[in-house]
Chain A
Amino acid sequence: MAAITLQPDMDFVRRLKETGGHNLKECYQCATCSVACPMAPDNKPFPRKEMVWASFGLKEKLTGDIDLWLCHNCGNCSDLCPRHAGPAELMSAARDIIYRDMLKPRLIGEWMSKPSGLVPLFLIPALIWFIVWWIRASIVGSWFPRAADGRIVFGTIFYGDYTIDPIFMITFFGAAFILAHGCRKLLDKFRPEGKLAVIGKKKNWFVCLMEVLWEETGSASKFAQCEEGPATGEPHKTRRFSHTMLVWSFCILTFVTTVVAIGHWGGKILPFILIETPMPQGFWVKILANIGAALLIIALIMLTWRRATLNRHQASNYYDWYLLGIIWAVALTGMFTQIFRLMDWIHWAFVIYYIHLVVVWMLFAYVPWSKLGHFVYRTAAMVYARMYGRS
């Protein structure tokens, strides 16, 4: 047998510990976790092997590990771990390090990893939208103008065609481009060295993608499977419904946004599909938007409650709380924007709307470096696993 000299990356171990895998060195490789995990397949199950890679500081192995993304973080392994080594927390920390390190600019990854980074992350969009407000205010002649009919119309300041739409289009497509780049980098890491030969019929990626989306969001059967592990004797809080509800509320809100965008821009060409904002409360798109918002709030309450009351073996880290926090901020500012507008509190309405724009921009622009990136990275990994196996 050839002698192999391991090259431990001690800095990586330290960072894993700081990011949430505090107890990873407690692991004594009993392999309870691999059995505790209902998602782990029989061949090379996880997370025992990830624990030893983490402990040995094998950064390349761990960050290129597709199994990190097959884990759905039910926490069963941490519940049953006899050493409280926290395999679930370690897997989570390893994913967070990927969010942080994989993409440029690194500075954003750095800021996204700690609470103090919130200041610059907030200031960037705050400055962008403040400049917009300032320019528009000097054109319109007031910081808090009213429409000709006396209503509060945010378009008077944040005029869609020239401010909101171009800025968010750039942000959205920029983030999508960076995410796609991240996906490519991640998939490159999964690929084994040398040539990859596929025996038999190669699966179509689109079919795989549809299957994955159905499992993850359509039926949420992955979450159901995730919670089928051995009895742990600990109270277990399900995420199946709350997470699905959150995903569906995002889908509804995305749909609404798309409809409004098509109605607005398309309406310039085809007048009969024109949609003007603010929409009347009885309009079906508005009703759908409010349903989406309500679902979002309910799901957020359930997910936050779950995180706040996790059992003694499981823990949440900063990445978990950032994601919940930013979605809360988007939902609450969005809701209060509408409430203050309807109550006709013009100063509050504009300020909250401004903050809403800032946090929405944060949510989208920083996706590639945040835990929210999982919806792309995890999907990519699961499609890859379906097409080529887990290597």
Chain B
Amino acid sequence: MSNAILVVGGGLTGLTAAIEAAELGHEVYLVEKNPWLGGRVAQLTKYFPKLCPPSCGLEIQFQRIKKNPLIKCFTMTELVGLKGKKGGYTAKIRLNPRHTPPFNVDFSLLASSLEGEAPSEFELGMTKRKALYKAMPFAFPARWVLDPSALSKSDAARVAGAKFLNINEKAKEIELDVASIIVATGWRPYDMANLPNLGGGKWKNCISNMQMERLASPFGPTGGVIKRPSDGQRPLSVAFAQCAGSRDQNHLNYCSYICCMATFKQCLYLVEQNPQVRITVYYIDLRAPGRYINTLEKVQKLPNVRFVKGKVAEILPGRGDNLRVVAENAITGEKQTLEYELCVLATGMQPSLAAESLPLPMPLDMDGFVAGGEEAGIFAAGCARMPLDVSRSAQAGTAAALKASQIAKGR
């Protein structure tokens, strides 16, 4: 019997849950599939409510992890099996090989000499990374990763001789005794390929809102200057298509909650970078919950931003690399086809579990959100349960830690 708690997912919800549980005195295993912690928040340029950069909030959490010996983090790791019952589970996890040593070695020189490249997962495919890479400058843990599948032939020879790399490292599986489990598997942006009428991801200058976050990020592919992908020009006219896949029975049959606010935030990025920019936001309803109404009002006051009530239902190629956006203005009853230099699809949140399964006895609803499991000592939190913003995800993480702790107490 153990008083340990397993946390699946190292995004802001999982980090918060893990830290809160550890600070209550539990041993915590934090399992993260990616090589870094911080999840989707780490990819943002700024986040609500205060519009701080992600380093701001994540840094605090990372400090708390560093100081707390009760937390054991496993990155590049997946949960592959579960035995036992509530209060006495044995979880099997698979540690995928990182091929780099557990201490921090700076591989930047070696990495820059390599030829092989692969699309960067962290930059959502907008740039390439080397086979030996660190996802972002302040990745935590600050360790490099070697992706052997991206090595070219000459790279392989170079890497074989490198002192600190172990190309032969194999995946290994270990078992952990835990009392309860917190599921914080989070979300992923809805795939644009599912939206054929909006270009299906085929048009270069039609990007998702998460890609926009990377474009605006100081350590993103453009160094924080918002440039359109096709020719690196700074866009003068930008369209935002809200509810791209959300509130749609053919796609995500729910409101993704964050996309309106993300768009308002991105309007601010654009206007800050270029006061000449003209923005049109096409929407069904503008949803600014609670105090976020202040941000909406701020954006509505901007002379650069025009709001059109009417969903974008078609995006076509225009002159050059521009895009033609077709929508009916439902207030005036006019179907408008307007040309923009950049188009941002406010794609919604799809729970990660809609596409991946976990070996856990918990039901999912038809959209892939966790819909139970508490009776088995499994507590879902954050965007694995419902679409949430960052601060509510953190609160959900704390709440889950409290519940998981009640199962593990006194053992």
**Contact yes or no, A82 B249, CB < 8 A:** yes
Say which residue of B196, B284, B314 sits within 8 Å of A35 (CB atoms): B314
A33 CB → nearest B CB, Å:
8
**Contact yes or no, A42 B313, CB < 8 A:** no
Say which residue of A36, A48, A83, A232 sits within 8 Å of B330 (CB atoms): A48
Known: A28-B284, A230-B314, A231-B197. A42 touches B249 (CB 8 A): no
**Is A325 among interface residues, defined by CB-CB distance under 8 A?**
no
Q: What 0/1 readout, one digit per residue, does chain B (324-336) give for beta carbons within 8 Å of chain A?
A: 0011111001111
**Contact yes or no, B333 A49, CB < 8 A:** yes
**Contact yes or no, A34 B249, CB < 8 A:** no
**Contact yes or no, A230 B335, CB < 8 A:** no
User: Which of B299-355 touch A at CB < 8 Å?
Assistant: 309-314, 326-330, 333-337
Q: What 0/1 readout, one digit per residue, does chain B (250-270) give for beta carbons within 8 Å of chain A?
A: 110000000000000000000
**Is B200 among interface residues, defined by CB-CB distance under 8 A?**
yes
Say which residue of A43, A83, A231 sits within 8 Å of B249 (CB atoms): A83
Say which residue of A34, A80, A82, A84 sits within 8 Å of B335 (CB atoms): A34
Assembly CA distance A29 to B310 (angstroms): 8
**Is B367 among interface residues, defined by CB-CB distance under 8 A?**
no
Interface size of B as a range? 20 to 34
Q: What 0/1 readout, one digit per residue, does chain A (34-59) give for beta carbons within 8 Å of chain B?
A: 11100011111100110000000000
**Contact yes or no, B314 A34, CB < 8 A:** no
Residue of B nearest to A38 (CB): B314
User: Which of A56-71 touch B at CB < 8 Å?
Assistant: none
**Is B247 among interface residues, defined by CB-CB distance under 8 A?**
yes
Max count, chain A CB within 10 A of own CB: residue among B310, B311, B336: B311
User: Which of A231-257 touch B at CB < 8 Å?
Assistant: 231-233
CB neighbours of A32 from chain B (8 A): 311, 313
**Is A335 among interface residues, defined by CB-CB distance under 8 A?**
no
A229 CB → nearest B CB, Å:
8
**Is A119 among interface residues, defined by CB-CB distance under 8 A?**
no
Say which residue of A30, A42, A232 sits within 8 Å of B311 (CB atoms): A30
CB neighbours of A137 from chain B (8 A): none
**Is A31 among interface residues, defined by CB-CB distance under 8 A?**
yes
**Contact yes or no, B284 A30, CB < 8 A:** yes
CB neighbours of B249 from chain A (8 A): 82-84
**Is B173 among interface residues, defined by CB-CB distance under 8 A?**
no
**Contact yes or no, A80 B328, CB < 8 A:** no
Assembly CA distance A34 to B333 (angstroms): 9
**Contact yes or no, B334 A42, CB < 8 A:** yes
Known: A30-B243, A45-B328, A48-B330. A35 touches B200 (CB 8 A): no
**Contact yes or no, A31 B196, CB < 8 A:** no
Assembly CA distance A30 to B309 (angstroms): 8
User: Which of B186-221 touch A at CB < 8 Å?
Assistant: 194, 196-197, 200
CB neighbours of A33 from chain B (8 A): 313
A181 CB → nearest B CB, Å:
32
- Give how many A-B residue pairs fall within 8 Å (CB-CB): 81
**Is B121 among interface residues, defined by CB-CB distance under 8 A?**
no
Grouping DSSP codes into helix (H, G, I), strand (E, B) and loop, the A interface class, with mixed when no group exceeds half, is loop
**Is B106 among interface residues, defined by CB-CB distance under 8 A?**
no
CB neighbours of B326 from chain A (8 A): 35, 230
**Contact yes or no, B330 A29, CB < 8 A:** yes
B149 CB → nearest A CB, Å:
31
CB neighbours of B312 from chain A (8 A): 35
B203 CB → nearest A CB, Å:
12
**Is B248 among interface residues, defined by CB-CB distance under 8 A?**
yes
**Contact yes or no, B200 A231, CB < 8 A:** yes
A311 CB → nearest B CB, Å:
11
Known: A80-B197, A82-B248. A43 touches B328 (CB 8 A): no
Assembly CA distance A31 to B283 (angstroms): 10
CB neighbours of A41 from chain B (8 A): 335
Known: A31-B311, A36-B313, A44-B333. A233 touches B327 (CB 8 A): no
A329 CB → nearest B CB, Å:
37
Assembly CA distance A288 to B330 (angstroms): 52
Assembly CA distance A230 to B241 (angstroms): 16
A259 CB → nearest B CB, Å:
47
CB neighbours of B196 from chain A (8 A): 230-233
Assembly CA distance A84 to B253 (angstroms): 11
CB neighbours of A233 from chain B (8 A): 194, 196-197, 250
**Contact yes or no, B197 A45, CB < 8 A:** no
B31 CB → nearest A CB, Å:
35
Assembly CA distance A262 to B194 (angstroms): 60
CB neighbours of A30 from chain B (8 A): 243, 247, 284, 310-311, 330
**Contact yes or no, B284 A45, CB < 8 A:** no
**Contact yes or no, B311 A45, CB < 8 A:** no
Say which residue of A42, A43, A48, A230 sits within 8 Å of B197 (CB atoms): A230
Assembly CA distance A33 to B335 (angstroms): 11
Assembly CA distance A28 to B313 (angstroms): 15
**Contact yes or no, B327 A31, CB < 8 A:** yes
**Contact yes or no, B330 A35, CB < 8 A:** no
Assembly CA distance A170 to B329 (angstroms): 51
CB neighbours of B250 from chain A (8 A): 80, 82, 233
CB neighbours of B247 from chain A (8 A): 28, 30, 82
Residue of A nearest to B309 (CB): A31
B244 CB → nearest A CB, Å:
11
CB neighbours of B310 from chain A (8 A): 30-31, 34
**Contact yes or no, B333 A35, CB < 8 A:** no
B344 CB → nearest A CB, Å:
18
**Contact yes or no, A40 B194, CB < 8 A:** no
Residue of B nearest to A26 (CB): B249
Residue of B nearest to A84 (CB): B249
**Contact yes or no, B336 A232, CB < 8 A:** no
CB neighbours of A40 from chain B (8 A): 335
Assembly CA distance A82 to B249 (angstroms): 5
Assembly CA distance A28 to B284 (angstroms): 8
Assembly CA distance A209 to B248 (angstroms): 41
Supply 9 further A-B pairs (C-beta < 8 A) apart from A35-B335, A83-B248.
A34-B328, A36-B197, A42-B335, A42-B337, A44-B333, A45-B335, A82-B247, A82-B311, A232-B196
Interchain residue pairs with CB less than 8 A apart (23): A28-B247, A28-B284, A29-B330, A30-B247, A31-B309, A31-B313, A31-B328, A33-B313, A35-B313, A35-B328, A36-B314, A42-B336, A45-B333, A49-B333, A80-B197, A80-B250, A82-B243, A82-B247, A82-B249, A82-B251, A83-B249, A230-B326, A232-B196
Closest 10 CB pairs of A and B: A35-B313, A82-B248, A230-B197, A231-B196, A34-B328, A31-B328, A230-B314, A30-B311, A31-B310, A32-B313
